[in-house]
Chains A and B, each alone.
Chain A
């Protein structure tokens, strides 16, 4: 019998600066969770999805970025959603589950019956209300969101085996070398408060934890002696793996899209996925135009209201234009993200690229990438305040902030 007073909280793990070097050079200017996808900060998408959770009491963002970086966003989103959103800074990394335990008292403030745990850098449709319903039906301690992927792709993630009838989590292993399953962990969970007891047990028995896995490089960086600290608890190795098969954890499969946003190239791909989602759920957010009073728009495009785009420009598909951008006449933009205050001059061409804040692209300049989201130089990334002079071509390159390109480059990293 559902208690209508039951409260639910959501916790979003946002990570921190020393960890994510894969998001360079964009991470030099903004913490990854605030990088815009489809016109909204990355963390905004899971937060928006939380809106549809019934009885949502609070949303917590946990990470180790500086508080001031999130202060502005958190206060504006709190007032917009009318639900308290708080950023909690960890004094040091505690691991994916340790962070949850570290702030246990704050999270349990309203005595929630359920706690959603989401990773900020996951791009998916976040079917949170459906997960809650399923979780209640299963009656376990936790439910994981899972998705089927190709067998080759599976080895990059946590692979798991689920019972096809009861949906119980039978087996879980992180980044296995041999094939275990094509079902992977999406990084979206729902737990009952029992999870805190489980984490506490790990603390007391940490010496007994089998150190069979080699530590990931980021974890090894933190621990001076290369053994996990007492309060460093990883969700997958320390909780999911041991509890699999004990009728405590269940799975909920999503048939929608799912990606991890670890690199700038993936943020371009995920921006396109969210734009497509807008097409279904909130098409009023997308731009449209046919070249008469507005620029020609093809496919899914987001244009910030303050951006100025000339009517002879052709924009799309999969383009996101941020605030105060100026796009001049005859410009063609395809599959790109144009960040705040950028200027794109006449007849320029941009495809599969991210153009950094305050950058400037000259007349007839061409900035393009191949469109391979997985390789290091698969799209072109221009950092903050990069100038590309007239008629210069930039292909498959990464340019760090404050550079001026006056000759064409291909396949290069420019420091």
Chain B
């Protein structure tokens, strides 16, 4: 590890006289460690054989210490790690939203779902992400071009011509996932949101020396899922039990894996389930380890969980980056508002609300526990709770929208209308109240 310090406007007295002492540390981007704030010394290289996370550096001028860089946290730069995101199919559970865009592009907390994961991967140094898709590749690929440029990460698609299950896509993308470096690669499930402690997962993987690591998360009702039974102290996985009838454990598969390249040798290019076939085999050889996911976890593949997931996500944002949340007399609890959105007078927004780009919320509006997507207009005096309002829709004056109402793209709820759990497909106008949950095609 070694550090490059950039040269800026330098006092001539100091320019060429800096010597570096002992350790040499390099990072790709010195600015991110606040080094730019210090009197910039000339370019120099620090090398170390130790993988330290904290370091102090002294600069001497003619044997007098003239500056000390404070301790800073170094990222261990990973050599070109890769990741696969299982995007899968039609996203039918998130209809009517997925009738307009493929599921990974459905916005969550004002960002396409998949962008949350791609950003988390980029932050820990993943340089290439492969999306395993089997639906609408053209739409995905267009969108990805924008992101590749903005994020500086390579994104490619691996398209299934027949459904390959949850393990098959890994075999299909084999050439993109492994190279000679022998580095492990991540596999993420695109429906999942969490805090993505991927760095800790890498450390865990390296420490146990096994072949595969999976994140597990604690849930209240484990029998709805596949439970992972593991040895508590080491995390070694004993077995998987699908929807157990008696209590065997309360940790379930969180859909985040870190796999050594040898796992790919176990997967054939045919429809295969990673939970039912691949992982149990690795577990029987005592090479599968599970790490309990710290922080929140949610599968937001269906509307009810999407709304709960937003609450968890905004909670986490409150702890980690509270400046991103909105504040003000009209805000209650955790609310995310895009900077291009406009909010009128006399509104009460929150808790757990996300308002997307270009939205207009007129005066006297009450929003709680809802997502308002790009380009939506909420007219005066309306009241919305526990609902999702799709792109470019409008909600009329004095309208009341609640109880898991999901409006698809370009849906217009007329003035004074009440929707109790209406699920409305795109390009519709709602002129009459929906008194009990109903699908409007």
Q: Which A residues lie at the B interface, using CB under 8 A?
A: 18, 21, 24-25, 28, 217, 220-221, 398, 400-403, 413, 415
With A400-B95, A402-B92 already in contact, the answer to whether A413 and B439 are too (CB < 8 A) is: yes
With A220-B429, A415-B439 already in contact, the answer to whether A402 and B423 are too (CB < 8 A) is: no
Q: How many A-B residue pairs have CB under 8 A?
A: 29
Contact in complex: B429, A415 (CB < 8 Å):
no
Contact in complex: A413, B412 (CB < 8 Å):
no
Contact among A18, A413, A415 with B92 in the assembled complex (CB-CB below 8 Å):
A415
B96 within 8 A of A: yes
Contact in complex: A21, B439 (CB < 8 Å):
no
26 chain-A/chain-B pairs, Cβ below 8 angstroms: A18-B427, A21-B425, A21-B427, A21-B428, A21-B441, A24-B425, A24-B441, A28-B99, A217-B429, A217-B431, A220-B429, A221-B412, A221-B429, A398-B441, A400-B92, A400-B95, A401-B90, A402-B89, A402-B90, A402-B92, A403-B92, A413-B441, A415-B92, A415-B95, A415-B96, A415-B439
Bound complex: CA A158 to CA B439 (Å): 30
7 closest Cβ pairs, A-B complex: A415-B95, A413-B439, A402-B90, A24-B441, A217-B429, A18-B427, A221-B429
Closest chain-A Cβ to B264's Cβ sits at a distance in Å of: 28
Residue of B nearest to A413 (CB): B439
Q: Which B residues lie at the A interface, using CB under 8 A?
A: 89-90, 92, 95-96, 99, 412, 423, 425, 427-429, 431, 439, 441
Residue of A nearest to B441 (CB): A24
With A25-B441, A217-B431, A398-B441 already in contact, the answer to whether A415 and B90 are too (CB < 8 A) is: no
Bound complex: CA A415 to CA B406 (Å): 12
Closest chain-A Cβ to B305's Cβ sits at a distance in Å of: 15
Closest chain-A Cβ to B411's Cβ sits at a distance in Å of: 11
**A25 surroundings in chain B (CB, below 8 A):** 441
Bound complex: CA A401 to CA B439 (Å): 15
Bound complex: CA A403 to CA B425 (Å): 17
Closest chain-B Cβ to A92's Cβ sits at a distance in Å of: 15
New A-B pairs, 15, CB < 8 Å, besides A21-B427, A400-B95, A402-B92: A18-B427, A21-B425, A21-B428, A28-B99, A217-B429, A221-B412, A400-B92, A402-B89, A402-B90, A403-B92, A413-B441, A415-B95, A415-B96, A415-B423, A415-B439
Bound complex: CA A403 to CA B93 (Å): 10
Bound complex: CA A83 to CA B173 (Å): 52
Bound complex: CA A217 to CA B411 (Å): 12
Closest chain-B Cβ to A112's Cβ sits at a distance in Å of: 36
Residue of B nearest to A23 (CB): B441
Closest chain-B Cβ to A406's Cβ sits at a distance in Å of: 14
Residue of B nearest to A25 (CB): B441
Bound complex: CA A335 to CA B423 (Å): 30
Bound complex: CA A141 to CA B423 (Å): 47
Bound complex: CA A58 to CA B378 (Å): 49
**B441 surroundings in chain A (CB, below 8 A):** 21, 24-25, 398, 413
Closest chain-B Cβ to A219's Cβ sits at a distance in Å of: 11
Bound complex: CA A346 to CA B89 (Å): 29
Closest chain-B Cβ to A226's Cβ sits at a distance in Å of: 11
**B89 surroundings in chain A (CB, below 8 A):** 402
Closest chain-B Cβ to A5's Cβ sits at a distance in Å of: 47
Closest chain-B Cβ to A19's Cβ sits at a distance in Å of: 9
Closest chain-B Cβ to A280's Cβ sits at a distance in Å of: 36
**B439 surroundings in chain A (CB, below 8 A):** 413, 415
**B99 surroundings in chain A (CB, below 8 A):** 28
**A221 surroundings in chain B (CB, below 8 A):** 412, 429
Bound complex: CA A217 to CA B428 (Å): 9
